[in-house]
Amino acid sequence: MSGIKQMFAGMSESGKKRKKLYLAVVIASILIVSAVIAIVAGVKNSTTTSSSGAAIAASTHAILKSSCSNTLYPDLCYSTVATIPDVSKKVTTLKDIIILSLNITITAVEHNYFAILKLTKRKGLTKREITALHDCLEMVDETLDELREVEKELDQYPTKKSLTQHADDLKTLLSAAITNQETCLDGFSHEKADKKVRSALEKGEVHIEKMCSNALALIKNMTDTDIANAAKLTGVLPTNRKLMELDQTDEGWPEWISPETRRLLQSSSVTPNVVVAADGSGNFKTVSAAVAAAPTSSSSRYVIRIKAGVYRENVDVSKKKTNIMFVGDGRKTTIITGSKNVVDGSTTFNSATVAAVGPGFLARDITFQNTAGPSKHQAVALRVGSDKSAFYQCDIIAYQDSLYVHSNRQFFINCYIAGTVDFIFGNAAVVIQDSDIHARRPNSGQKNMLTAQGRTDPNQNTGIVIQKCRIDATSDLKPVKGSFPTYLGRPWKEYSRTVFMQSSISDIIHPLGWHEWSGTFALSTLTYREYQNTGAGASTSGRVKWGGYKVITSATEAQQYTANSFVAGGSWLRATTFPFSLGL
């Protein structure tokens, strides 16, 4: 018999009732106490959980604050990630912050695309405004691709490649993304009317540029730290082989092979996929038609041979046309020419006779030309935004803005580049090697500027390096050179970076060497360097005294501007089949 039943045995009915009431009170008391205990336990558990959550939030806050403090826009960096739901559960490392920041940036870029698209439907737009808006749409599209490629690269980081390759690829992609926003806005800087449209999209473009800048700074901090830590562990920087170890095999051609033998070896190694001939004897009559017929996103080289002739057209090798190669019959005989220019309603970006954007573009033995003339202002012969692109034995000839080295990594060798104002400009990471760079006669009252480099962010890995080149004047300028001062360059953007090294500089260059853009703008933030140049115009004794200008005296410092270091040439130049030099 159970204890409860025993309690009721032998009792009167009234006693039983009293016992039942007592039992009920006891049971109720037990339930109340149990409930109180449960509540207290729950409160204690809740307090512990809350305390733990606060600790996670504090940890996330600390990581965010520390990471964002190294960016140019720390408040934006912090707020971008801090407002993400359950962010404390998603952030434990700097890499987490970068990925979350990129996701938000991509969404912002997508929204901006539709905002720009809406602007294109405005009534009363000028021809150039319409062109500029379409340039912006192209820039937004490229930015999306670059940011998504950064995400893929981060997914593989840090084991897929060497740390330095990862770092260079990541910085190149984000540097290009930043440049795209600047290029969009630059399209609205030609007339007062342009400014109305510019003001409508400026906020969105600047916001995205700042977000890309923050992502670049975060990535630079992460990769720099990882490379430094790897160096501590191994005692050796995880870079491509040291320049001091480079041997003859690291050059494009051994010195003992004659130029003629090199030409024959190269010619025999290139088999065209299609032939362009103006007379109809090839597969296509125009270069544009051949490019349009080329496969998209090709991983193998697609060679378009362009037979001797003058091709009057504007050619666009879009981002989808990868690994395209133009092979001409000779720079004096194969000529692609156009005349689009700003005065007649184009944008600088859209004026290019040939625009090469698809990665891996190569060209040799061709002339790219814009004949608009000095009175038409900006008129581009060749614009390049193709990553790991290279040009061999090509002529690039125009007046103002001849060669637009827009973005990504580029290499030029044995080329001839001629123009007047800012005729090598842009924000790529580019090395121009063993080439002839000649100033032409400009309009009355104009000055010649060989370069106008456009770096806007100190973390961008961009700049113009001119190495082992010959700086001189064309025959029409030489007799009147005293009337048209010529300078090595001027700072188009705040962190402009240009280096002339190991080059022959004639007396065409003014003793000051460099010219300001506007007053004191960028004079302390620019990076202008000269190293071991020779010739009548190479003396640095009378050069400018700007804070950002310096004469390099150390080979170690100069090595950072070689093709191996500046454009990661050791990882891709050999595949071009063109000659090259990786070191000093």
As annotated, the active-site residues are 401, 422
With b meaning 16 or more CB within 10 Å and e meaning fewer, what string describes 174-196?
bbbbbbbbbbbbbbbebeeebee
**C-alpha closest to that of 487 among 525, 462, 517, 465:** 517
Q: Is the sign of the CA dihedral 535, 539, 540, 542 positive or negative?
A: negative
CB 392 within 8 Å of CB 413: yes
Task: Tell me the C-alpha distance between 35 and 38, whole Å.
Answer: 5
Task: Tell me the C-alpha distance between 306 and 287, whole Å.
Answer: 7
Beta strands in 474-577 (DSSP E): 486-487, 497-501, 504-505, 527-531, 549-551
DSSP β-bridge partners for residue 498: 464, 528
556's enclosing H/E stretch is: helix 555-558
Q: Is the sign of the CA dihedral 167, 209, 150, 66 positive or negative?
A: positive
Task: Tell me the C-alpha distance between 214 and 97, whole Å.
Answer: 11
Instruction: Please give the full DSSP string across 157-187, using - where no structure is assigned.
Output: TTTSS-HHHHHHHHHHHHHHHHHHHHHHHHT
Token pair 């088999």 in the structure block, residue:
271
